[in-house]
Amino acid sequence: MVESDMRRHKITFLPMDRVCFTDGDENLLEVAMKYGVHINSSCGGNASCGKCRVKIVEGAVYSKDNTNISEDEYKAGMRLACKTSARSDIVVEIPLESQIDRTALRRKRYVPQILSVADIGSLVKGVEVEPVVSKIYIELPEPSMQDNISDADRLLREIRRRYRIDDISVDFKIIKGLAKALRDAGWRITVTIAFTKTGYKIIDIEPGNKEDKNYSIVIDIGTTTICGQLLDLADCSLPGQDDSPENRLDTCTIAETSDYNAQISYGDDVISRIMYSQKKGGLKRLGEAVKGTISKVIKELLEIGKVDMNHVSHVVFTGNTIMTHLFLGIDPKYIMLSPYTPVFSIIPSLYVEQVGIDVNEHAYVYIYPCVSSYVGGDIVAGVMGSGISKSGKTVLYVDVGTNGEMALGNSDWLMCASCSAGPAFEGGGIKFGMRAGKGAIEQVKINPLTFEPMVLTIGRLKPIGICGSGLIDIIAEFMIAGLIDRNGKFSRDLKTERLREGDGDYEYVLCYAKDTQINRDIVVTEADIDNLIRTKAAVFAGCITLVESAGLTLDDVEMLIIAGGFGHYIDIEKAQTIGLLPELPAERFVFVGNGSLLGARLMSMSKSCFLEAERIAKMMTNIELSDNNRFMEEYVAAMFLPHTNEKAFPGVIARLNEKGRG
Amino acid sequence: MVESDMRRHKITFLPMDRVCFTDGDENLLEVAMKYGVHINSSCGGNASCGKCRVKIVEGAVYSKDNTNISEDEYKAGMRLACKTSARSDIVVEIPLESQIDRTALRRKRYVPQILSVADIGSLVKGVEVEPVVSKIYIELPEPSMQDNISDADRLLREIRRRYRIDDISVDFKIIKGLAKALRDAGWRITVTIAFTKTGYKIIDIEPGNKEDKNYSIVIDIGTTTICGQLLDLADCSLPGQDDSPENRLDTCTIAETSDYNAQISYGDDVISRIMYSQKKGGLKRLGEAVKGTISKVIKELLEIGKVDMNHVSHVVFTGNTIMTHLFLGIDPKYIMLSPYTPVFSIIPSLYVEQVGIDVNEHAYVYIYPCVSSYVGGDIVAGVMGSGISKSGKTVLYVDVGTNGEMALGNSDWLMCASCSAGPAFEGGGIKFGMRAGKGAIEQVKINPLTFEPMVLTIGRLKPIGICGSGLIDIIAEFMIAGLIDRNGKFSRDLKTERLREGDGDYEYVLCYAKDTQINRDIVVTEADIDNLIRTKAAVFAGCITLVESAGLTLDDVEMLIIAGGFGHYIDIEKAQTIGLLPELPAERFVFVGNGSLLGARLMSMSKSCFLEAERIAKMMTNIELSDNNRFMEEYVAAMFLPHTNEKAFPGVIARLNEKGRG
């Protein structure tokens, strides 16, 4: 992306003489952040802190806002980096007060492997795109005395004749109104046919030709966030200019949205949800809460896509095992109690009325199969969606949500595990933690000399809090700047006002109140750091235990896919610096964002994937980590920055040593 | 039966010197009726008319009641035949006033082929008895950290392991309560497994071993009558002393009952029901009415069988196409309108909740498939239940209910047809007509000299009305006695008080008011006779049209199976006399009673029959009679007693000629 054809202008930052490129839309603060050039800034790129002052030495720029810049300064070329963009090749000088430590410049910058939707399609190249629920227009011959078979048989006969489908039946619900529907439509109808494990089923009849009105919705029920996509099934079935599966998968996704799972009011993590479900009326309330959010997400998707609810014929749900249980109103009690058994792994196809959500009453619902109590349909969907079950390479898939869930394998074998990571990466248990959303601090750099931060938020708004990727940046930057030791404790003797004794805890002030939307200092506390260390330790320990359970070492992992809601992207090097990700070459990492949705989408758009899902779930061998001594040892060893075993992170250690932080 | 080992005493009737045998339980009137010996009697065998006086000349008798016998007469050996039974070989003299016409004695008496339930089993010899819904007791290994698969998978694994069933799933409804059910039962449970077209399904879980509590209910939804049987599925699955399928089918039927279809209030026949269904709220009301009766029948079956509703796991329904539509709440409008199309022929397996009747909520419901608008599941069930679809012989199956429905064929081919017969044989459109039940006149003889009747009712109670078999007897006796001509009109010049001008119509008094339960004269009117002629003409015309459509003649029919609710039995010779049944040798006739229930029973007790039902329905070629010229011609020709074409009934004509009734 950085070196792409899109670049328009060269920007040279002084005094470090660092040459960068921009497509012209980015502001200078964003360009600097991307290329690892430090400019102080703590308002998230909102012009309110006035700290990112730069001097334009050469070339043309455009500035949206000149708050905090005097007329004289303006004439001298001073601008706010966060509000200024290049209009030609330019040279920019960064004033002394916010210059970066030169040593940082020597770091090799890894370009994060953020995949676009089209790129992700390439992971599942060759998948057959053939929607599970399809619509076909047919004109039936009218009954006569020579041909007076039943209406249902007339319909089936025509479909069998034209499509050579034998195992097809008419759903009982449809039979009730069939006679009227056929006659009102003058025997010219569109039939919605669902492909199920036990054959085809006619689930809806509409008058006239409605072949082009066929949509599905895929929903990932996360513990914290519920994400949905609206797919145009009619579109993806059409051969287009580029009818490669990956392109068709991409173009048919016409809306995407998400919302907080309303169950959050009843507890942050799955265990607290299960506990709540055991209270009187708790199970019902949790079910209603999640369905409420789902209905909101669906409504929004339909509004964005301008699609009529009655044209949605398929809904696919994925989620972790607990979310799936609660969504279906099934008591998850024994998931919490040793030996941690879920009630089910596979749920047959259902009707919307059986799950109780607001779409076309004829819609068919598929729930992604789960593997075990803590490896759910979201992981099965992720494994399918990222093509692991068809891969020749050995892939490690890590989904860092509230739970750390991971899968390992290839087309021949699959293993999985999960550990309680805690909700730190989704903002839980972090004083100013938040989900990746507008106003969330997602990128941070800290000047190792002045300890001044450079902060970018999603949407470049005044900060509200810190999301997962921001937290990873912060801890890594703390380490590099020497603000914290390897146990995650602040150095008490550094000369900076940003470090202070807060509410009974040492803390670092990332943004002062005036620069925020919340009018409070946004700080990172030692307790926050501790929480993050626990989380990263659990994820890392889970990965290594899983890999070793398969008789492999981390080096055998040929591709490491990262899924989850960290923010827009995650900086691999920083994630390695804190010991969250293993030290593998950058090119082995792939970020897929919400992997679960990818799989959900495939499930709706491909009959073969629909069948494959269950095979994957059954094929996955679950490694139980909750009473696993090996895992416990690994966990304890990982409760250090980056890790007790320095040999596992030679690059990180080398960089820290280089900066005298060893 | 008559010549069996059961006979205990020889009874010689004088003056005709007719030797009969009795098992001792029958009264003399019953013995006389059985052997075609006429004794006047018009109170149904209830001692109230006092007409069946006989004189015991030799031997010992026991009399329950001596009403109408003076002391002197008693001493002289006079007794009421209806209240007297033999205690040794006896000689009985029938007084002159009630002596039979001698010529009648020369008639060869055909013994009706009434089959007992066990006999009927022989029609389906070799059927595999293996209930569609079965219960198995299993003890599951408790979950452990080494084995913590989901509860549903644990269950399925055990069943797969023990029974090698692969295509089995747990029903969604069961999954909801599964965790608690398994643990409450200490992992020792009884699983109810339903066999469906698309594999096995676990539909219920009970604690402990309940293998012996597995029942099914089969219901025939007739237009007039709803009949049900309760089957002990656990029993029929057990190999017993005689574990031939026919025996097991027999012994497992533990209760049987029936009731009028409450829909009768909305019309006597299917057409009037369809018309009612088109009124506002009509469809709903008809559905509620029939379900009300079904629930009553089920309740009664459970009471008789002393079975808990929760142990019923399977319910099979049969019925004609209209009854099936109305039962399921499906608008039958187009069945009535040319070209007479039903909405469906095959309905998938359903849950009770989908049809709304009162049994165990987990019960599986199967609706027998229909063939066409007027050949319904009852005929498909009859064809299966009487073994036609597996028969090497060519069989004609005739079900005379409100509709005359017939099927013809063998294991290679099947054809069917139906005609509107009218409800005469079920009591409809007949002034004193009634369904076969206690107090219904089921057998009648008329003395051709005195025109006095000899009447027997079901249950030997005072008469209430006349059922189907009674009507056939009456018309045949009218013909033989010369009371009516070949058009069914009474001879106006006969000297008997029993023949009179009634309410604007000529009528014959069968029983005087004092001898009845209803305190009104029970009469047979010319309008009644006319109705019966229409009915028998339709049935006969239907049979011959069907046979000829297959390119056969009646003589090619190797077995003629009669089903329907005529009463306890039908006298073949009399049915031939009126032209209802064709003149085929008596040994080709078989009476199966409610043939539809036979098939319904098989459907519940045999997986192979369950699968076979649909094959039969699909295999049956429907011959439409409603606009069939050939049928209309045959119908008109049959509107005569016995038939316009005398050559078709040579035996009947000979007998009538012999009596001077030609």
- Report the residue of A144, A172, A335 to disrupt the B interface, i.e. the one with the largest count of B CBs within 10 Å: A172
Residue A85 and residue A228 in one domain: no
Question: A595-605 vs A377-385: helix axis angle to the nearest 10?
Answer: 80
The CATH number assigned to the domain holding B140 equals 3.10.20.880
Give A122's contacts (C-beta < 8 A, 6+ positions apart): A246
Tell me if B581 sits within 8 A of B571, measured CB to CB: no
Residue A240 pLDDT more than 70?
Answer: no
d(CA B270, CA B268): 7
Do B343 and A148 lie within an 8 Å CB cutoff?
no
Judged on CB neighbours under 10 Å (0-12, 13-18, 19+), A423 is: buried
Residue A178 and residue A219 in one domain: no
Lowest mean pLDDT among A100-109, B84-93, B264-273: A100-109
Domain count for chain B = 5
Query: Cα–Cα distances in Å, from B80 out to A183, B22, B61, B522?
Result: 67, 17, 11, 22
Please write down the long-range contacts of A431-434, taking CB distance under 8 Å and 24 or more positions apart.
Answer: A431/A507, A431/A523, A431/A524, A431/A525, A431/A527, A431/A528, A432/A465, A432/A466, A432/A510, A432/A522, A432/A523, A432/A524, A432/A528, A433/A465, A433/A466, A433/A467, A433/A471, A433/A528, A434/A464, A434/A465, A434/A466, A434/A467
d(CA A366, CA A298): 16
Return the residue matching tokens 């109690």: A337
Residues 130-159 of B with CB under 8 A from A: 143-145, 147-154
Taking only the tens place, the pLDDT of each residue in A519-562 is 889 999 999 999 999 999 999 999 999 999 999 999 999 999 98
Taking only the tens place, the pLDDT of each residue in A593-632 is 788 998 999 999 999 999 999 999 999 999 989 889 999 9
Q: Which residue has the higher pLDDT, B481 or B4?
A: B481
d(CA A617, CA A614): 5
Tell me if A114 sits within 8 A of A569, measured CB to CB: yes
Q: Do you know the residue count of chain B?
A: 662
Tell me if A365 sits within 8 A of A351, measured CB to CB: yes
* Cα–Cα nearest to B195, from B128, B123, B294: B128
Whether omega for the bond prior to residue A131 falls within 30 degrees of 0, making it cis, is no
Residue B226 and residue B317 in one domain: yes
Residue B407 and residue B544 in one domain: yes
pLDDT of A206: 96
Q: What is the residue range of A634's domain? A: 381-423+532-658
In a domain, A124, yes or no: no
Do A344 and B176 lie within an 8 Å CB cutoff?
no
In a domain, A125, yes or no: no
Two tokens, residue A622: 């679950």
Residue A111 pLDDT more than 50?
Answer: no
Q: Do you know the residue count of chain A?
A: 662
CA-based nearest distance B614→chain A, Å: 13
Tell me if B85 sits within 8 A of B62, measured CB to CB: yes
Tell me if B10 sits within 8 A of B20, measured CB to CB: yes
Smallest CA–CA distance from A148 into chain B, residue: B341
A176 reaches B (C-beta below 8 A): yes
Q: Side by side, which strands form the sheet with B215-221?
A: B253-260, B225-232, B215-221, B312-319, B364-367, B350-351
Return the residue matching tokens 């334009």: A56
Q: Please give the span between the terminal C-alpha atoms of chain B, in angstroms, as a whole number.
A: 34
Smallest CA–CA distance from A329 into chain B, residue: B176
Q: Kind and range of the H or E element at A327?
A: helix A321-327
A372 reaches B (C-beta below 8 A): yes
Q: Which residues in B lie closer than 8 A to residue A143 (C-beta atoms)?
A: 339, 341
Taking only the tens place, the pLDDT of each residue in A190-223 is 999 999 888 899 999 999 999 999 999 999 999 8
d(CA A540, CA A219): 28
Tell me if B125 sits within 8 A of B245, measured CB to CB: yes
Q: Which residues in A lie closer than 8 A to residue B194 (C-beta atoms)?
A: none
Please state the separation of Cα A115 from the chain's center in Å.
12
Task: Write the residue in A150, A370, A624 that is nearest to B342 by C-beta.
Answer: A150
Residue B515 and residue B562 in one domain: no
Averaged over B594-601, what is the pLDDT? 89
Do A179 and B333 lie within an 8 Å CB cutoff?
yes
- Report the residue of A341, A627, A628, A629 to disrupt the B interface, i.e. the one with the largest count of B CBs within 10 Å: A341
In a domain, A122, yes or no: no
Q: What SS3 class is residue A56?
A: strand
Two tokens, residue A75: 């004439």
CA-based nearest distance A267→chain B, Å: 23
Do A339 and B180 lie within an 8 Å CB cutoff?
no
Do B334 and A151 lie within an 8 Å CB cutoff?
yes
d(CA A551, CA A404): 21
Smallest CA–CA distance from B367 into chain A, residue: A172
Return the residue matching tokens 């506002």: B280
CA-based nearest distance B356→chain A, Å: 14
Residue B243 and residue B347 in one domain: yes
The most distant pair of C-alpha atoms in chain B lies apart, rounded to whole Å, by: 98
Two tokens, residue A371: 């593997």
Residue A351 and residue A301 in one domain: yes
Question: What letter represents residue A297's amino acid?
Answer: V
Do B624 and A148 lie within an 8 Å CB cutoff?
yes
d(CA B46, CA B62): 16
Q: At which of A333, A348, A373 does a domain end? A: A373
Task: Write the residue in A178, A333, A341 that is nearest to B343 by C-beta.
Answer: A178
Q: What SS3 class is residue A606?
A: strand
Judged on CB neighbours under 10 Å (0-12, 13-18, 19+), A10 is: middle
Task: Write the residue in A144, A199, A333 that is nearest to B198 by C-beta.
Answer: A199
Residue B437 and residue B451 in one domain: yes
* Cα–Cα nearest to B313, from B237, B383, B239: B237
Residue B623 and residue B548 in one domain: yes
Residue B181 and residue B301 in one domain: no
**Secondary structure string (H, E, C) spanning A336-397:** HCCCCCCCCCCCCCEEHHHHCCCCCCCCEEEECCCCCCCCCHHHHHHHHHCCHHHCCCCEEE
CA-based nearest distance B11→chain A, Å: 59
Q: Which residues in A lie closer than 8 A to residue B175 (C-beta atoms)?
A: 328, 330, 343-344, 347
Residues 585-624 of A with CB under 8 A from B: 624
* Cα–Cα nearest to B11, from B25, B24, B21: B21
A278 reaches B (C-beta below 8 A): no
| A659: Cα within 13 Å, side-chain hemisphere | 24
Cβ atoms < 10 Å from Cβ of A636? 12
Q: What ipTM was predicted for this assembly?
A: 0.80
Cβ atoms < 10 Å from Cβ of A276? 19
Q: At which of B180, B207, B234 does a domain end? A: B207
In a domain, B200, yes or no: yes
Do A172 and B627 lie within an 8 Å CB cutoff?
no
Do A343 and B151 lie within an 8 Å CB cutoff?
yes
Give B389's contacts (C-beta < 8 A, 6+ positions apart): B383, B409, B411, B414, B612, B615, B616, B619
Question: What letter represents residue B174's amino acid?
Answer: I
Taking only the tens place, the pLDDT of each residue in A647-657 is 999 999 999 99
DSSP state of A267: -
pLDDT of A108: 33
CA angle B209, B213, B216 (to 5 degrees): 145
d(CA A650, CA B551): 94
Lowest mean pLDDT among A76-80, B126-130, B646-650: B126-130
B190 reaches A (C-beta below 8 A): no
d(CA A433, CA B539): 84
Residue B288 pLDDT more than 90?
Answer: yes
Residue B398 pLDDT more than 60?
Answer: yes
Q: Which residues in A lie closer than 8 A to residue B174 (C-beta atoms)?
A: none
* Whole-prediction pTM: 0.79
Give B278's contacts (C-beta < 8 A, 6+ positions apart): B333
Q: Which residue has the higher pLDDT, B398 or A128?
A: B398
CA-based nearest distance B339→chain A, Å: 5
The CATH number assigned to the domain holding A306 equals 3.30.420.480
**Secondary structure string (H, E, C) spanning B617-644:** HHHEEECCCCCCHHHHHHHHHCCCCCCC
In a domain, B117, yes or no: no
A384 reaches B (C-beta below 8 A): no
A346 reaches B (C-beta below 8 A): yes
pLDDT interval class at A121 (50, 70, 90) = low
Residue B497 and residue B554 in one domain: no
The CATH number assigned to the domain holding B634 equals 3.30.420.40
d(CA A525, CA A591): 29
Q: What SS3 class is residue A301?
A: helix
Return the top range by mean pLDDT from A36-45, B195-204, B312-321, B559-568.
B312-321
Q: Which residues in B lie closer than 8 A to residue A149 (C-beta atoms)?
A: 341, 345, 372
Query: Cα–Cα distances in Å, from B403 out to A614, B412, B437, B470?
Result: 50, 26, 20, 19
DSSP state of B648: G
B356 reaches A (C-beta below 8 A): no
In a domain, B278, yes or no: yes
Lowest mean pLDDT among A111-125, A641-655, B196-210, B607-621: A111-125
In a domain, A126, yes or no: no
Q: Across the A/B interface, how many CB contacts are shorter than 8 Å?
A: 132
Pairing of strands B506-511, B522-525: antiparallel
In a domain, A177, yes or no: yes
Residue B642 pLDDT more than 90?
Answer: yes
Measured in degrees and rounded to the nearest 5, phi and psi for residue A557 equal -75, 115
DSSP state of B363: -
B128 reaches A (C-beta below 8 A): no
Tell me if B431 sits within 8 A of B272, measured CB to CB: no
Taking only the tens place, the pLDDT of each residue in B134-158 is 999 999 999 998 899 999 999 999 9
d(CA A575, CA A471): 10
Do A627 and B145 lie within an 8 Å CB cutoff?
yes
Pairing of strands A188-196, A133-139: antiparallel
pLDDT interval class at B112 (50, 70, 90) = very low
Do B343 and A143 lie within an 8 Å CB cutoff?
no
CA-based nearest distance B199→chain A, Å: 8
pLDDT of B109: 35
**What residues form DSSP beta bridges with A135?**
A192
Give A62's contacts (C-beta < 8 A, 6+ positions apart): A84, A85, A87
Do B179 and A333 lie within an 8 Å CB cutoff?
yes
CA torsion sign, B453 to B459 to B465 to B469?
Answer: negative
Smallest CA–CA distance from A321 into chain B, residue: B150
Q: At which of B488, B510, B528 does a domain end? A: B528
- Report the residue of A146, A147, A148 to disrupt the B interface, i.e. the one with the largest count of B CBs within 10 Å: A148
Residue B564 and residue B462 in one domain: no
